Amino acid sequence: MSRMSIFNSPFLLGFDQLEEILDNVSKNAGEGYPPYNIEHIADNAIRITLAVAGFSKDDLSITLESNQLIIRGKQTDDGADKAFLHRGIAARQFVRKFVLADGMEVENATMEHGLLHIDLVRPTQQETVRKIDIK
């Protein structure tokens, strides 16, 4: 059975990469850890905030691969020598991916009070019209 796609129109050319991105986003949509917020902080700026309690800066990595912002967290389990009565904060790995639009740039990343803030900006672009000569 072939899969139906919104990009099957002959007028939509070169959108196969976008279709793949949408597939990846739908696969990652069900993941709930770590919780995050996305804020619109200015006309051309967005802030992603992840709750990463228990993680240090050394436990986290932020990479930009093509148009995907990938945040990875890996804690070392230091509970081997401790006797817990209750363990609700586990050393847990995560990978959180965000697809960025063309032109979006990571401005900075900061961490405070167990929250990782990643600021993204989109430089203002002037709309251009280009005339194509016929040869």
C-alpha–C-alpha distance, residues 50 and 36, integer Å? 4
pTM above 0.75, yes or no: no
d(CA 92, CA 77): 8
Task: Give me the residue spans of the domains in the chain.
Answer: 33-121
Q: What is the pLDDT of residues 43-81, one digit of tens each?
A: 899 999 999 988 999 999 999 998 889 999 998 766 667
Cβ atoms within 10 Å, residue 2: 5
Q: What is the CATH number of domain 33-121?
A: 2.60.40.790
